[in-house]
Amino acid sequence: MRILAIGDIVGENGVRKLKQELPRIRQEKNIDFVIVNAENSAGGMGITTKIFEDLLDLNVDAITMGNHTWGKKDIFSFIDHPKLLRPANYSKGVVGKGLGIYECKNKKIAVINLIGRTDMNVLSENPFTVANDLVNQVIGDVDMIFIDFHAEATAEKIAMGLYLDGKITALYGTHTHVQTADEHILENGTAYITDIGMTGPKNSVIGMDPTASIKRFVTSLPERYKLAEGDCILNGCIFETNDENCRVEKIIRINMR
């Protein structure tokens, strides 16, 4: 099987880029299952009903979120949709879910969404203990487990990969919007990449207008971010698994500029 994970969609232009490219990628690369991170899809913060419906129309299989999960109030009207996942280590009792189990080609695929705690400014439960509990909950009942770890610190992501090595199929990072070139299979068989990148404006500072971003760094004064305009890139990663043992045999980065 081939599972495609698409990096953080940034803004409506990022959504448009996904609409343009996903059908072709799906056909040319023989994609079976698609996971998309959409926490920045609506104006750079959150997701709206329209964008959510657009993603459903693209037959996306799972939609993950992150620190901007609650950026648009629309989400409360579809938070319980089976395809939508918010970080599983948000505080107990929060609406929504962080684990979804889906069927594809007679395989059961578990998708888990987690958020990091290092430099994230989000109060959350320990992602390591939550991940361990969820993996132990589904292991043996599913064929594959994929984790979108939405985190800032590369060290936290690497540590999580090693912590779960051999227990899950793949762990990939999101949030930093810059695709890393460290894709590899860990010692015990888990596929890993620190960040799969973003789908959004190419001439930008991680999706935002460069002028506002540079001004913040130069002056140290507050400046409202705004989305960049222009052509978009599409970043993602294909995990190719062995149909017999459901282990990842090949990791293919996608960087469409």
Query: 224 falls in which pLDDT band (50, 70, 90)?
Result: confident
Domain span holding position 140: 2-256
Query: 257 falls in which pLDDT band (50, 70, 90)?
Result: confident
pLDDT computed for residue 102 by the predictor: 98
26-32: Cβ within 8 A, 24+ apart: 29/2, 29/4, 29/238, 29/252, 30/2, 31/2, 31/3, 31/4, 31/238, 32/1, 32/2, 32/3, 32/104, 32/105
Sheet holding 99-104, edge to edge: 99-104, 107-115, 144-150, 170-174, 191-193, 184-185
pLDDT computed for residue 235 by the predictor: 98
pTM listed for this prediction: 0.97
Q: What is the mean pLDDT of the chain?
A: 97
Query: 166 falls in which pLDDT band (50, 70, 90)?
Result: very high
Mean pLDDT of 138-159: 98
When computed from its CA atoms, the radius of gyration of the chain, rounded to whole angstroms, is: 17
Res. 44: pLDDT tops 90: yes
Res. 225: pLDDT tops 90: no
Give the CATH number, domain containing residue 216.
Answer: 3.60.21.10
Buried b (16+ CB within 10 A) or exposed e, 29-67: eebbbbbbbbbbbbbbbbbbeebbebbeeeebbbbbbbb
Distance of CA 113 to CAs 208, 218, 256, Å?
Answer: 24, 35, 25
Please list the alpha-helical segments (H only) found in the chain: 11-28, 49-57, 127-138, 154-164, 210-219
114, two tokens:
């987690």
pLDDT computed for residue 87 by the predictor: 98
Q: How many domains does the chain have?
A: 1
Mean pLDDT of 67-73: 97
Res. 55: pLDDT tops 90: yes
Residues labelled as active-site residues: 68
Res. 223: pLDDT tops 90: no
Mean pLDDT of 114-124: 95
pLDDT computed for residue 19 by the predictor: 98
Mean pLDDT of 30-55: 98
